[in-house]
Structure 1
Amino acid sequence: MQTNKEIRCSSPAVSYGKVLFELGVPEESVKKTKEILEAVPQLSDLFTNPTVALKKKQTVIDRVFPEDMRNFLKTACRYQRMDLMDEIFAAYEKCRDEQDKVLHAVLTCTVAPGDEQKRGMENFLSRKYGAEKVHIEVRYDADLLGGFILRAGSDEYDWSMKGRLDRLAQTLAH
């Protein structure tokens, strides 16, 4: 399954994300750790600061984070990978989505789809990609002039008026 979460081709981050997933750490603990790091940016500064002793970093980890995440975080600190935590979490989520057969898609439109339309898109994507769950992120773009563009993985379905006009202009130009 493809996700729309950006993961740079930083193989250490991807490797750490896969390891975190394979460790079987409860999803709630991973989520809580991510929330703590987002809520207290000073922690990231502390963990990435080379002048702070590893022992002090480990003490902070023991006091602040869920128990089942501590060894992973200590290892990330020891090997100076704490600056990759956003990418590590993204890689972890990608692994989890692949296991759970979750597909992330982006719908760009001028008007939000109705419930029936959205269900139709979810059913289409579910069948096409073999997904058990489909999450559609809705974005708005008035430049489309009507209709929509649906992106899933590397596929794009352009049913926008702008797209149709562009294709017509290309056809007439040839």
Structure 2
Amino acid sequence: MSGNRAAIRYAKAILQEANEANAGDIVFDDMRSVQATIRGSKELRVMLKSPVIKAEDKRQALLSIFGDQSKYTHSLINVLVGNKRIDMLSGVTESYISLYNEAKGIKEAIVTTAVALSSELEVQVLEKVKEITGSTNVTLKNDVDASIIGGFILRVGDLQYNASIANKLGNIKREFSKSL
């Protein structure tokens, strides 16, 4: 699970609260939406980390952006702002998603590629991951990172397989350095 201890604690608290109210699935959808919004907006990431922007302004902006989310998500935003931890929102969403998936027995696979996967290739990768893990309950997330040049990096839980061109070039460079 990614994230720091504090983010994990906040995620556990909101997961427990949501599960007690039978709203875990709703909050899960909220957390995915919040995470996608944060990842997709550089301005939002900058605003969350900015010490210049007042906490109340951050609260108002976030409640406006995520106005259609559940009361649990609004409560999380209010608590994080109140505790001066709003910069952790992305980490909390990521931790919540991981905890939720773990509780539901869902394996999360992250495949990093230089370009976005086509839907056909995504289906093939998902089937291969299901075969490897022996689990039929797998979600696949595609991260795009042009720095890997080509190939892919597959992460499932604590396991990672790096078949990227950048990794291969790094290995060749190390081999050349050893022989000199």
State the distance in 2 between where 1:115 and 1:35 align: 19
Q: Deviations over 1:139-164 (max 9, x none)?
A: 896787xxx8754333356899x7xx
**Alignment check: 8 A CA contact 2:109 2:154 kept:** no
In structure 1, stretches of 5+ residues that fail to align are 170-174
State the distance in 1 between where 2:156 and 2:81 align: 35
SS at match of 2:47: helix
Residue 47 of structure 2 is aligned to residue 45 of structure 1: yes
**Alignment check: 8 A CA contact 2:130 2:138 kept:** no
Aligned pairs for 1:14-163 within 5 A: 14-24=8-18, 25=23, 26=26, 27-34=28-35, 37=38, 39=41, 41=43, 45=47, 49=51, 52=54, 54=56, 63-64=64-65, 65=67, 66-68=69-71, 69-100=73-104, 101-106=106-111, 118=125, 121-127=128-134, 130=135, 132-135=137-140, 137=142, 151-156=155-160
Cα drift, residue 81 of structure 1: 0.9
Cα drift, residue 70 of structure 1: 1.7
Cα drift, residue 125 of structure 1: 2.4
Alignment: residue pair count: 155
**Alignment check: 8 A CA contact 2:107 2:137 kept:** yes
Aligned Cα root-mean-square deviation (Å):
4.8
> Which structure has more RCO (C-alpha within 8 Å, separation ≥ 6)?
1
Calculate the TM-score normalised by the size of structure 2. Answer: 0.55
Map of 1:11 onto structure 2: 5
**Alignment check: 8 A CA contact 1:107 1:137 kept:** yes
**Alignment check: 8 A CA contact 1:47 1:77 kept:** no
Letter paired with 1:73: I
Letter paired with 1:123: K
Map of 1:172 onto structure 2: none
Calculate the TM-score normalised by the size of structure 1. Answer: 0.57
SS at match of 2:13: helix
SS at match of 2:84: coil
State the distance in 2 between where 1:61 and 1:138 align: 25
Q: Deviations over 1:63-120 (max 9, x none)?
A: 55335122221111111110111111110110122123223143779xx997896465
SS at match of 2:29: helix
| Distance of aligned partners of 1:45 and 1:85 in 2 relative to their CA distance in 1, 3 Å threshold | same
**Alignment check: 8 A CA contact 1:149 1:156 kept:** yes
